[in-house]
A = this chain, B = another copy of it.
Amino acid sequence: MNEVHMDRISWVEYQGRVREEAAPVFLPVGATEQHGPHLPLGTDALLATAVAGGAAGSVAGLVAPALAYGFKSQPKCGGGQHFVGTTSLDAATLIGTVRDTVREFARHGVKKLVLVNGHYENQWFLIEGIDLAMREVQASGIEIMRLEYWDFFTPATLARVFPDGFPGYALEHAAVIETSMMLHYHPDLVRLDQLPDDPPADFPPYDFYPTRTQLVPPSGVLSSARGATREKGEVMASELTRLIAAAVRDAFD
């Protein structure tokens, strides 16, 4: 069976995969960010890599080394920059990293590139990085899919994961979805005994600077992760693998 991780194969093998087999290359983009007392700082990069690996395995693709640092955490989606451990990049740095790596994949002859984003705050800087790169490399014929993996969950799956009704992605930071998926992919890194019992965060319809940290639960968890199970994680992971692989197969033709 084929190795999926680009950093574990030689350039000669990589060249064969990309040029002769037209392998799609997946670039996971994560963050180093607080995820409450029960999930590790690397959650976003670990999940993006795992999701990318699942899909890549289904389409004979390759997974490039993840971007392990992401854009600055915001109170409403990641708790905010006042947490110790959250380690973030300025916009220009993340944009430049995406632009440079896309430029290189285009030089390699990659035609199908998939950015798998696992950190909500990254999205718009990935868009800009891709746009700047495409100004330079569009003639290479590279095509790029960019996705936030949670956008692939079907209503049926959300109904299963949230039997009392899906409250929306707004506060799903270090909560049921991420905890369940970590229980599936990296159970040794989850500390269910540390699940906090903060009430869900309640934010006004605006943002305020400097951050009003009193609005953010001290644990960093925006809504309860109670209800997270390994089985739910498996259901979601399996769906993501299947649907992202299908999207890759369909979209690049």
Contacts and interface: CB of A to CB of B under 8 A. Distances in A.
B8 A40 contact: yes
A247 to B, nearest CB: 6
Given A32-B7, A210-B143, A100 B108 contact: no
Interface residues of A, number: 90
Interface string A106-146: 01110000000000010111011011101110100001111
A208 B127 CA distance: 10
B69 A45 contact: no
B100 A11 contact: no
A197 interface: no
Nearest to A132: B90
A41 B6 contact: yes
A57 interface: no
B41 A151 contact: no
A10 B35 contact: yes
A12 B37 contact: yes
B209 A144 contact: yes
A144 B208 contact: yes
Copy count, this protein chain: 6
Interface string A180-203: 000000000101001000000000
A42 B65 contact: yes
Contacts of A1: none
A64 interface: yes
A46 interface: yes
- Across chains A and B, which 4 residue pairs bring their CB atoms closest together, nearest first? A7-B42, A11-B85, A65-B68, A11-B34
Interface of A: 5-15, 18-19, 32, 34-42, 45-46, 64-69, 71-72, 74, 83-93, 95-97, 99-101, 104-105, 107-109, 121, 123-125, 127-128, 130-132, 134-136, 138, 143-147, 151-152, 189, 191, 194, 204-210, 220, 243, 247, 251
18 contacts: A6-B32, A7-B32, A9-B41, A10-B35, A10-B41, A11-B35, A11-B86, A11-B220, A15-B84, A68-B68, A69-B97, A89-B100, A89-B101, A91-B128, A93-B97, A204-B251, A205-B247, A206-B251
